């Protein structure tokens, strides 16, 4: 075990001794996230959905590091935290690839072709009561939009489809691009292109200021 892994494992042990949702637990989780990001060992690729998969990964990390809430609890005897997260992150990236393939296979002339009614199960789930600190801070930032920039930057001709709306809708539990396309009457490619060019850079900049990236 190298020095970094030893420090992270020690911090995990200390953090998990604190009560769930306590300030000390939240501070510990944030320190671990910063150490992992700074290490440069987190899996990276250039896919368009990498940021979405990463958001899911940090959410999974916060919910299952100390207790098994939405998955199997982290087991330090099986792997390091970074290895554990990288395995989860790669699985989520594969999920997005499969989802993209399915969407493309059902797309004809720019319209989604469905046999029967489509129900977005994720969108119907209630928000969990125990919002992790990283996600909570990001949601607060996006909602506050103190300088109005997120609301100001929007898809041309659609002022109601702006960065604030899309960032909040894509944070976990995220609304699918297919559902957003139907709701706003815009193609998936238009939405994802705008999100990638305008929203993600602002979201990434915020993450950097908080030490998450």
pLDDT digits (tens, 9 = 90+) for 15-26: 999 988 788 888
44/125: higher pLDDT: 44
- pLDDT, position 20: 85
Among 81, 103, 66, 57, which Cα is nearest to 8's?
A: 81
CB 186 within 8 A of CB 155: yes
Judge whether 110 lies within some domain: no
Judge whether 131 lies within some domain: yes
Among candidate residues 105, 125, 156, the one where a domain is terminated: 105
**What's CA 107's distance to the chain center, in Å?**
26
Judge whether 112 lies within some domain: no
pLDDT confidence of 116, banded at 50, 70, 90?
very low
- pLDDT, position 1: 53
Find residue 107's DSSP bridge partners: 112
User: What's the Cα-to-Cα distance from 13 to each of 19, 91, 127, rounded to whole Å?
Assistant: 12, 26, 28
Q: Could you tell me the residue range of the domain that residue 12 belongs to?
A: 1-105
What is the pLDDT averaged over residues 40-53?
86
User: Are 168 and 94 members of one domain?
Assistant: no
User: Are 65 and 140 members of one domain?
Assistant: no
- pLDDT, position 104: 63
User: Are 185 and 209 members of one domain?
Assistant: yes
Judge whether 2 lies within some domain: yes
4/112: higher pLDDT: 4
Using the predicted structure, report yes or no on whether residue 211 has a pLDDT greater than 80.
no
- pLDDT, position 34: 87
Q: What is the mean pLDDT of the chain?
A: 82
Find residue 111's DSSP bridge partners: 108
User: Are 148 and 194 members of one domain?
Assistant: yes
User: Are 98 and 126 members of one domain?
Assistant: no
What is the pLDDT averaged over residues 149-154?
94
Among candidate residues 75, 105, 135, the one where a domain is terminated: 105
- pLDDT, position 213: 57
Judge whether 121 lies within some domain: yes
Percentage of the chain modeled with pLDDT above 70: 83
- pLDDT, position 160: 94
User: Are 100 and 14 members of one domain?
Assistant: yes
User: Are 127 and 93 members of one domain?
Assistant: no
User: Are 101 and 127 members of one domain?
Assistant: no
User: Are 201 and 152 members of one domain?
Assistant: yes
Interatomic CA distance for residues 26 and 15, integer angstroms: 8
pLDDT in tens, 50-101: 888 888 898 889 889 999 888 888 998 889 999 999 999 999 988 888 877 6
What is the pLDDT averaged over residues 195-210?
86
User: Are 163 and 208 members of one domain?
Assistant: yes
What domain count does the chain have? 2
CB 64 within 8 A of CB 70: yes
User: Are 66 and 132 members of one domain?
Assistant: no
User: Are 62 and 135 members of one domain?
Assistant: no
- pLDDT, position 12: 93
- pLDDT, position 30: 87
Q: Which of 134-148, 153-167, 174-188 has the lowest mean pLDDT?
A: 134-148
SS (H, E, C) the chain: CCHHHHHHHHHHHHHCCCCCCCHHHHHHHHHHHHHHHHHCCCCCCCCCCHHHHHHHHHHHHHHHCCCCCCCCCCCCCCCCHHHHHHHHHHHHHHHHHHHHHHHHHCEECCEECCCCCCCCHHHHCCCCCCCCHHHHHHHHHHHHCCCCHHHHCEECCEEEEEHHHHHHHHCCCCCCHHHHHHHHCCCHHHHHHHHHHHHHHHHHHHHHHCCCC
Using the predicted structure, report yes or no on whether residue 109 has a pLDDT greater than 50.
no
Among candidate residues 105, 135, 150, the one where a domain is terminated: 105
Q: What token pair was written down for 53?
A: 């998969």
């Amino acid at each position: 075990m190298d020095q970094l892994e030893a420090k992270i494992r020690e911090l995990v042990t200390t953090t998990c001794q604190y009560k769930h949702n306590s300030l000390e637990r939240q501070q510990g989780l944030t320190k671990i996230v910063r150490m992992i990001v700074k290490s440069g060992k987190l899996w990276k690729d250039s896919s368009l959905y990498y940021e979405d998969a990463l958001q899911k990964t940090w959410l999974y990390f916060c919910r299952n590091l100390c207790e098994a809430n939405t998955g199997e609890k982290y087991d330090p005897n099986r792997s390091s935290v970074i290895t554990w997260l990288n395995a989860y992150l790669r699985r989520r990236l594969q999920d997005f690839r499969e989802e993209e393939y399915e969407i493309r296979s059902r797309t004809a002339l720019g319209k989604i072709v469905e046999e029967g009614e489509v129900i977005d199960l994720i969108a119907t789930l209630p928000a969990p009561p125990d919002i992790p600190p990283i996600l909570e801070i990001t949601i607060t930032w996006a909602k506050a939009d103190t300088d109005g920039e997120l609301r100001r930057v929007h898809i041309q001709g659609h002022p109601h489809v702006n960065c604030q709306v899309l960032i909040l809708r894509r944070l976990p539990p995220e609304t699918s691009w297919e559902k957003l396309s139907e709701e706003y009457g815009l193609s998936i490619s238009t939405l994802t292109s705008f999100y990638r060019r305008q929203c993600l850079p602002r979201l990434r900049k915020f993450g950097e200021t908080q030490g998450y990236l």
